[in-house]
Amino acid sequence: QSVLTQPPSVSGAPGQRVTISCTGSSSNIGARYDIHWYQQVPGTAPKLLIYENTNRPSGVPDRFSASKSGTSASLAITGLQAEDEADYYCQSFDNSLSGWVFGGGTKLTVL
Amino acid sequence: EVQLEESGGGLVNPGGSLRLSCAASGFDFSVYSMNWVRQAPGKGLEWVSCISSGSHYVYYADSVKGRFTISRDNAKNSLYLQMNSVRVEDTALYYCARGPRGIAVAASGYFDPWGQGTLVTVSS
C-alpha cells in the first residue's frame, strides 16, 4: 500500500486529454512538500517529467502539465500520443516516515 | 552528458551480502545528494536510501534500516550500497538517482537523472 495513492490505470485515444491523480495526506503533500512526476517507458529507467509541482524540465513537451492543491496533485496530458504510453509516478517527502515516497504508479494506455 | 551507471548486482542467497556501486560522470558529483531507489519485478518505485553531498547525513527506508549502508567516495565520483542480511523481498532492480545540490538534503528534492539500474536477485 503506497503512501501516495494513484489510480492503477488510465486510458485515452490519440489526441484526447487524460489526468492522473495523486492523493496524499497531511504528512506529505498536505505538509507542503513539493510533488514531482516521473515517466517510465517499459524496460527503461524513470525520467523526470515534472518537478516542484508544476515545472517541466527542458525537453518535456508542454502537453504535460501538473497542479497541486491541499493533499492532492494531478498530472494532465493533452493531445495524447502513442509515445506517451508508459507508467507515471508521483513522488514527495513524508515527514512521519522521514523519507521520500512514491505513488503506486499509473499505467497509461493510448487506445 | 550527465550519466549514472550502476553495477554489482547479481544472485545472492537469503542472509547474504552484496555491494552495489554507481559511477557518476558529467557533473560535479561532490555537491549533490545521491539516492538509491528500487523496483521489484512488475512493481512500483520504492526509495531506499539517501546520502548528502559530504556524507554528513544519511537516510534509510524502514524496510532496509539496520541492514543496508549507503556511502560515497567523492574523489572517485562513486556511490555505494552495502546490502547485508538480504531477504527475498529485496529482489529488485536498484537505481542510482541524483538528488538536489547542496550540503544538506532538501526534503522537497527530486531525483534526476537516473541510471539504468542493476538487478539484485535474492534466492536460494
pLDDT in tens, B25-60: 999 999 999 999 999 999 999 999 999 999 999 999
For B90, the 3-state DSSP assignment is: helix
Quote the distance between the C-alpha of residue A39 and its chain's center: 8
> How do beta strands B45-51 and B32-39 pair?
antiparallel
Residue A1 has pLDDT above 90, yes or no: no
Of A81, A80, A69, A89, nearest to A20 (Cα)?
Answer: A89
CB B68 within 8 A of CB B81: yes
Of A30, A12, A21, A7, nearest to A109 (Cα)?
Answer: A12
Task: Report yes or no: B61 at the A interface, CB cutoff 8 Å.
Answer: yes
Quote the distance between the C-alpha of residue B41 and its chain's center: 17
Least CB–CB distance from B110: residue in A2, A48, A103: A48
Task: Report yes or no: B62 at the A interface, CB cutoff 8 Å.
Answer: yes
CB A16 within 8 A of CB A1: no
- On chain A, the residues whose CB falls within 8 A of the CB of B40 are none
Cell matching residue A11: 486510458
Contact A38 B116 (CB under 8 A): no
Q: Which residue has the cell 496530458?
A: A77
Beta-bridge partners for A86: A108
Least CB–CB distance from A91: residue in B62, B110, B117: B110
Which tens digit of pLDDT belongs to each residue from B83-122? Answer: 999 999 999 999 999 999 887 778 889 999 999 999 999 9
Q: How far apart are CA B45 and CA B36, in angstroms?
A: 11
Q: Using CA of residue B62, residue A98, residue B58, residue B23, what is the dihedral sign?
A: positive
Quote the distance between the C-alpha of residue A87 and its chain's center: 9
Residue B78 has pLDDT above 80, yes or no: yes
Q: How far apart are CA B4 and CA A48, in angstroms?
A: 15
Q: How far apart are CA B41 and CA A43, in angstroms?
A: 11
Task: Report yes or no: B27 at the A interface, CB cutoff 8 Å.
Answer: no
Q: How far apart are CA A43 and CA A97, in angstroms?
A: 30
**Which positions ≥6 away from A42 have C-beta within 8 Å?**
A86, A87
Which tens digit of pLDDT belongs to each residue from A27-75? Answer: 999 999 999 999 999 999 999 999 999 999 999 999 999 999 999 999 9
Cell matching residue B79: 556511490
Contact A100 B50 (CB under 8 A): yes
Least CB–CB distance from B44: residue in A52, A57, A105: A105
Contact A2 B116 (CB under 8 A): no
